[in-house]
Each structure stands twice: as C-alpha cells, then as structure tokens.
Chains A and B, each alone.
Chain A
Amino acid sequence: MSSAAVTNKKGFGATLWDYLTTVDHKKLGVMYLFAGTLFFAIAGFEALLMRLQLMIPNNDFVSAGTFNELLTMHGTTMLFLAATPLLFGFMNAIVPLQIGARDVAFPFLNSLGFWLFFLGALFLHLSFFLGGAPDAGWTNYASLALYSPGHGIDFYVLGLQISGAGTLISGINFIVTIITMRAPGMTFMRMPLFTWTSLISSALILFAFPPLTVGLFLMLVDRMFEANFFDHTMGGNTIIWEHLFWIFGHPEVYILVLPAFGLFSEIIPVFARKRLFGYSSMVFATILIGFLGFMVWAHHMFTTGLGATANAIFAVATMAIAVPTGMKVFNWIMTIWGGSVKVTVPMLYALGFIPSFVAGGVTGVMQAAAPLDYQLHDSYFIVAHFHYVIVGGIVTAIFGSMHFYWPIMFNRALSEKLGVWTFWIFFIGFHCTFFIQHFLGLMGMPRRVFTFQADQGWDLFNFISSIGAILMAIGVILLVINIIITAKSKPLNCRDYWGDGRSLEWAIKTPVPFYNFKQTPLVRGYDPYWLEKHEGNKEGMIYAEPLGDIHMPNNSILPLVMSIGTFVAAFGALYHPDGKAWAIPVLILGLAITVGAMIVRSVKDDLGFHVHVEEVIATEEHLYGKGGNK
C-alpha cells in the first residue's frame, strides 16, 4: 500500500481494485461525489421530463402513470441519493483535514456506508427495468402505497432500507470522528463551522434514520409478509406511516441544509477576507436548529386533522426555527459587510444563496401558520417553497463548494470563466422555474398533477417555469463540461489555492498524501491556518508531534461483499409475495453472504499497518520534490 503511493502509474485493474477496497476518506469522498453527481443527473433528467410534460396544457408527452413514477423517483433520488451523497462527499473529503485527523474513526465502516448507499441506490433504480418504478410520491403515504400494484413500492422500501443503513453508518462514523479525532488544541469551540454542522447533521441522521428504518420495515412486512400495520380493516392505521415518515422527513431537511450552511460559512469568510462574524452564535444556532428540527414534524400533517391544539403547538415550534436561521443569515451578511470581497465563483454562489434561501425560509414561515397551510397544502406553492430551500440552499452550496474545494480534492482548479456562466444560467433558470410556481400555487394548481386544462390562467406561467428548467439543465451540463475540461488541465501542486484559506484543510499542500498531515498539527486558535500565516509561519503549521511512523488502516473488500449480500437478499424479499420458490432461498443466501463477511471481519484481526519515517519522506519528495511539504 505504502509503496503503491510512491509508484506512479497503475494499470486499470489495479486502480479499480484500489477504489473497490479503499478505506481512505479522500477516495471515498471522491466516490460519493461522483455517485451523487450521477444520481443528480438522473433525477434532474426526470425533472426535465416532468417540466416538458407540463409545458403546455393537455400535453401527452408522458402518461399519467409514468408521470407518477417520475415525480416519485425525482424526489426520492434527489434527497436520498443525490444531495445526501454529495454532501457526504464533502464531509468525507474535508472534515478529517479540517480537524487534522489521519482518517475517520472507523475507516472500514466508512467504506461500508458508501457501498450500502450505492447498491441501495442501484437497487432502487433497477425498478425502471423490472416492471415499473415506485409511484406513490417520495413521501410514499401508506394509504396510497399499500395498494400500488407491481413492485415499484417494494423497490422503494428495500432500496431505501439498504441505502438508509449506509447513511446511518456514515453518520455514526462522523460523530465519533469529530468527537474523538480532533488534533491537539482543536477544542469544540475552535472547530470550523463545516465540522460543526457536519457533527449536528450526523447527529440528526443518528436520531432520524431509525424511525425511517422502522417505517420502511412496517411497509415492507405489510406489503410482502401480510402484516397489518396500515390496513384499517385489520385494526391498522395509516397515520402511523405519516408520523414515522415525517419524524424522519423533517430532520432530513436539516440533515441536508446544515452542511450546506457550514459550507457557506467556510466560503464567505475566505472571500470576504474577514473572520466569520459571530462564530459562537453560529454554533449555538446550528445546535438549536438541530434540536428544534425534531420537534416540528407534524407541520407536514396539519391537514390530516390532528386537532387545533396539536396544530397550534407544532405551528409555534416551526416558527421558532426561523429565529436561529435568521441569526445565521445575519451573521453571513455581517461577515461580508466591510470585508474586502473577492467575487469568485464560490462567492458568487454564496451571494446568490442568501436571498434565495431567505425567500424559501419566509414562505416556510407562511406555511407554518396552520390556517394558511390549509390553503397552501398540496399546491404548487409548496413545490416552490421547498425548491427554494433545496435548490437555493443546498444545490448552490454543492456547486459553490465544488469550485471551492476542487483544488484540495483533485489538485486541479475548475474554470472560473465557465463557472461564472454556469452560475448565471443556473441561477436565472432556477428563479425562472420556481418563483412563478408560488403564483401557480396561489392560483390553485395542485402539485403532482400530470397535466392541466387550458385557459385557467396557468398556461403562461407553466410555460415560463419549463423554460427555466431547461436553463437549469444547461447550467448543469456546463458544470459537467467544466469538470471534464478540468480533468485534463495541469495539476496545481500548491498550498492554499485561494490565497485566503483560514482553516486547517488549506494548510496542507496538494496533492494530499494518503496519510494527510505528515505530523499532526497543533491548533492554537480558531482559524488556525490564518493564525499561523498571520504570525509569519513559513512552514504552514506548528506540529504537535515529531516526524514518526504513521499508523494507517488496511484496505478491505469486505464492505463491498457485505453490501452485495444485502443487495441479493433484497431481491429475495422483493419476489417473495409473487410466490416464487427461489425467493426465500435467495433472501437467506444474501443474508448469509452479509453475515459471513461480518464473521470473517470479526475473526480476522485488522491491526492496520505502519508507514515508516523513510517512506513518509520518500512519499513527500515524490509528491512535492526535494524538501517535502514545506
């Protein structure tokens, strides 16, 4: 392994094997990023098909059934299989560097988390070829889902069960990493905000995914093994699904948006060239959002008929979330205020993010008022609201951070010029698509309809919205082109690409060696790298330990084997209700593969290996020439 890092060229097979078995957080970050981009493209394409269908009234571009599948898969894929892995990609690539760790706390589990997510996602997408995708909406309400014919819902349940397990594992991993693996001197109140938001968002994963797991399990046994949780004739109750889903579903929104907040809190101080304004209030607001995020789920169910008391309690709790979120927005503005702002592409995304996200937040508070929500519920107003939050908040963060962190992740820089074009086309397209949907909603257009009658005053607005969607697609294609062009560009081999890096990840020279910092850095304050630069430290950082042997984890193929086991088992469960004789044996075979791999894992000691000092020096010389990382 260590010699592999020194040798330059490797065959395709060896590289592939390296990626299949890797436990390196940087490689897994890249894998998350590409897997996320793949599913983002698929889900974006589904959205484009939907907008084409709704471009003109009485259209028959896609059928009603296909439209249901598209809207379900668009929502499910975007939230679970695109936004989550893309953010996990940044968390993997950046958080260990930001806290000065060698790797995450459980590198093996990190890899397992990725493969479970990926194979779960693959399983879900196989539904398109195996008799129809799920079609009950991403919320999959039981009263609808239970009676959906075919295997679509089964794919949804099993696919999300597998990928959800992967997400939960990664969440636990990040919590432990951030708690235990911080470099000396990195107290909780010196942690960069992206690390803080990753911690809180992982904590939300920790508490929110088990209810989803249970909800999906109940749906699974109801559909495939004749249980009666949601069947009212047998005493069941479909409201249980709604509660379990939203106990997960609402925190899920914060799971996604908190790391996005964190990314912007990294981008803005670098380009405003000012310390982040109100650091401690930012931390406090993050924790508060995490806490309140769990106490508000029933605001998705105001129209279910929970009664005035419950509605009032959840309405007030929901409105309370605007307070910490507002604190954050003001802190970002105050950071920019009076700074000497460099408007680079990441900063452009940050500047676009603030007003867009505020718009989404304000409509959110409108819906928190339960009586008004009765009017807005299930209309395009809701669609406009959550796209403002998700595209305006999360997608801008992801695109901006791609530009921001590309130098660290790939040792290349994305083209600024193309980036500016991408930003403007995407940004204009985004507002064009969704701003107008607020009014469509207020005019009474319900969401999730596959077509509409002409001359209700909806024609023009729907047309404009579809044009906007096409602009967004062009923006994304430009970004992909940018990535492809950049792959051929010259490596940077530099430290602190933007020149104003503040936290630890900028103190390390790219390409980042597989063991990260050759010596663990000593953190002497908030914004440690800026502090060292400010005091004229030419070496980058002060180190907490002498140059010594570095202990690293072993690569392993077992995570992939375990994940394949669950993948196989899922097919068994899926075809069980069809009365196929092979269903149960396949289920057992799959589980046996997984359990077998687990037993192999626990019986074989995994002590890792040591990179000796000479190898470290050789690697550094190979990467940076004589003198190493200076």
Chain B
Amino acid sequence: MGHDTQVQAKSKKQYEYDRHHNAVHMRKQVINFAIMIFLTFLAFAVVVADFSAYFIKPVILLLAGVQVVLQLYSFMHMDDKKASHMGVISTFVWFGAVIAFTMFLTFLTIIWW
C-alpha cells in the first residue's frame, strides 16, 4: 500500500472541473432514480389496473429488467469503463445472469408435479 499511493495535489482548474463533473454525474443519478420510481409505480399501477394477465406479466418483467439494468449500470457504476477490470467484472455478472435465467427456465419447465 505504501509505495503505490501517490499524493498529488490537483490544480485549481482540475479540482473545479472534477467537482463540477461529480455534481453533474450526481444530477444524472437523481434522474435515473426518478425513472426507477416511475417504473416501479408503473408496474404496480398495471397490476392494480387489472389488465389481462397475459399483458401484465411480460410488461412487469420487462420493467423489472430495465430497472435492474439501470441499477447495475448507473448506481453500481458498471458503465464506468475506467474502473479497474470492469470488463472482467461485467463478464462475470452477465454469465451469472445467464445461469440464473437457465435455472428459472428449467425449474419452471422440468420440475413437474
């Protein structure tokens, strides 16, 4: 830890730029949050509105999928290409998702009563 940490003071310009950048980024996060709240609200509304189940099920699953991608890529910063080894990490995450999907599929089809 010792010798790979370099303390480097930022120039005033750089500092202000970074501050601004962080603030803009935070604003984006709040917008994403608003979208997520909206999607959640929509999902509940669709169910309460009592449409046909064949319509509701795919729609709310889609909404959940979108919301999860938003969480992963904005709140959890998977969109941050400069983060160390993000490529490997997203490979692992998506491979986990593929396995999860396979499990849902098989447990719904080839476990019978």
Q: Give A contacts to B, CB under 8 Å.
A: 175, 179-180, 203, 206-207, 211, 237, 239-240, 243, 247, 291, 294-295, 298, 306-307, 310, 548-549, 551, 607-608, 610
Say yes or no for B107: interface residue by CB 8 A criterion. yes
Are B85 and A310 closer than 8 Å at their CB atoms?
Answer: no
Which one of B42-50, B73-81, B91-99 is at the A interface?
A: B91-99
Which A residues are in CB contact (< 8 Å) with B34? none
In the complex the two chains form, what is the Cα distance from A202 to B92 in whole Å? Answer: 12
Of all chain A residues, the one with the shortest Cβ separation from B107 is A243
Q: Cβ of B9 < 8 Å from any Cβ of A?
A: no
Interchain pairs with CB closer than 8 A, number: 45
Q: In the complex the two chains form, is A179's CB within 8 Å of B109's CB?
A: no
Q: What are 15 A-to-B residue pairs whose CB atoms are below 8 Å?
A: A175-B92, A179-B85, A179-B88, A180-B84, A180-B85, A207-B95, A237-B111, A237-B113, A239-B111, A240-B111, A243-B106, A243-B110, A294-B102, A548-B3, A549-B2
A610 and B107 in contact, given A207-B95, A237-B113, A295-B102 (Cβ under 8 angstroms): no
Q: Which of B1-55 contact A (CB under 8 A)?
A: 1-3
Q: Which of B1, B85, B102, B111 has the most CB of A within 10 A?
A: B111
State the CA gap A307–B102 with chains docked (Å).
Answer: 17
Complex-state Cα separation, A3 to B104, whole angstroms: 56
Is B103 part of the contact surface with A, judged by Cβ < 8 Å?
A: yes
CA gap between A179 and B83 in the complex, in Å: 13
Shortest distance in angstroms between B82's beta carbon and chain A's nearest beta carbon?
15
- Nearest B residue to A311 via CB reads B110
Q: Which residues of chain B are within 8 angstroms of A310 by Cβ–Cβ distance?
A: 106, 109-110
When the two chains form their complex, are residues A203 and B3 in contact, meaning their CB atoms are under 8 A apart? no
Interface centre among B3, B88, B96, B99 (most CB of A within 10 A): B99
CA distance A307 to B112 in the complex (A): 11
Nearest chain B CB to A82's CB is how many angstroms away?
Answer: 27
Contact present for B110 and A306 (CB under 8 Å) = yes
Expressed in whole angstroms, the Cα–Cα distance for A243 and B110 within the complex equals 9
How many Å lie between the Cα of A439 and that of B98 in the bound state? 40
Q: Which residues of B contact A291 (CB under 8 A)?
A: 95
- Docked Cα-Cα span, A258 to B74, in Å, equals 36
Contact partner of B2 (CB less than 8 A), chosen from A179, A298, A610, is A610
Are A608 and B1 touching (Cβ within 8 A)? yes
Q: How far is the CB of A301 from chain B (nearest CB, A)?
A: 8
- Of all chain A residues, which has the CB nearest B91? A203
Q: Which residues of A contact B103 (CB under 8 A)?
A: 211, 243, 247
Tell whether, in the assembled complex, residue A298 and residue B110 are in contact, meaning their CB atoms are under 8 Å apart.
Answer: yes
Docked-complex contact A298 and B111, CB < 8 angstroms: no
Who on chain B is nearest to A310 by CB? B110
Residue among B85, B110, B113 with max Cβ neighbours from chain A (10 Å): B110
Q: Bound state CA distance, A527 and B21, in angstroms?
A: 44
Min C-beta distance of B33 to chain A, whole Å = 30
Listed from nearest, the 5 A-B pairs whose CB atoms lie closest are A306-B110, A310-B110, A239-B111, A179-B85, A179-B88
Chain A proximity of B4: nearest CB distance (Å): 9
CB-nearest residue of chain A to B98: A294
- 18 additional contacts (CB under 8 A) given A203-B95, A310-B110, A607-B1: A175-B92, A179-B85, A180-B85, A206-B92, A207-B95, A207-B96, A207-B99, A211-B103, A237-B111, A239-B110, A240-B107, A240-B111, A243-B107, A294-B99, A295-B102, A306-B110, A310-B106, A610-B2
Contact in complex: B111, A243 (CB < 8 Å):
yes
In the complex, what residues of A have CB within 8 A of residue B110's CB? 239, 243, 298, 306-307, 310
A601 to B110, CA, bound (A): 45
CA distance A203 to B99 in the complex (A): 12
CA distance A180 to B2 in the complex (A): 17
Collect the chain A residues with CB atoms within 8 Å of residue B95's CB.
Answer: 203, 207, 291
Residues of B within 8 A of A306 (CB): 110
Cα separation A51 to B111 with both chains bound (whole Å): 37
Tell me the complex Cα distance, A206–B99, Å. Answer: 12
Q: How far is the CA of A211 from the CA of B3 in the complex (A)?
A: 41
Complex interface: chain B residues within 8 A of A240 (CB): 107, 111
Bound form: Cα–Cα A237–B84 in Å: 44
Q: Quick one: closest A residue to B3, CB to CB?
A: A548
Residues of B within 8 A of A610 (CB): 2
Which residues from chain A contact B102 at a C-beta distance below 8 Å?
A: 294-295
Q: Closest residue of chain B to A306, judged by CB?
A: B110
Check B106 against A298 for contact (C-beta < 8 Å).
yes
Interface 1/0 per residue, B45-70 and A, CB below 8 Å? 00000000000000000000000000
Q: Cβ of B88: which chain A residues have Cβ within 8 Å of it? A: 179
* Bound CA–CA A310/B107 (angstroms): 12
Are the CB atoms of A549 and B84 closer together than 8 Å?
A: no
Q: Are B92 and A551 in contact (CB under 8 A)?
A: no
CB pair A551 B111 closer than 8 Å: no
Bound form: Cα–Cα A306–B111 in Å: 8
**B-chain residues with CB within 8 Å of residue A206 when the two chains form the complex:** 92
**Assembled-state Cα–Cα distance A491/B102 (Å):** 53
Chain A residues within an 8 Å CB radius of B92: 175, 203, 206
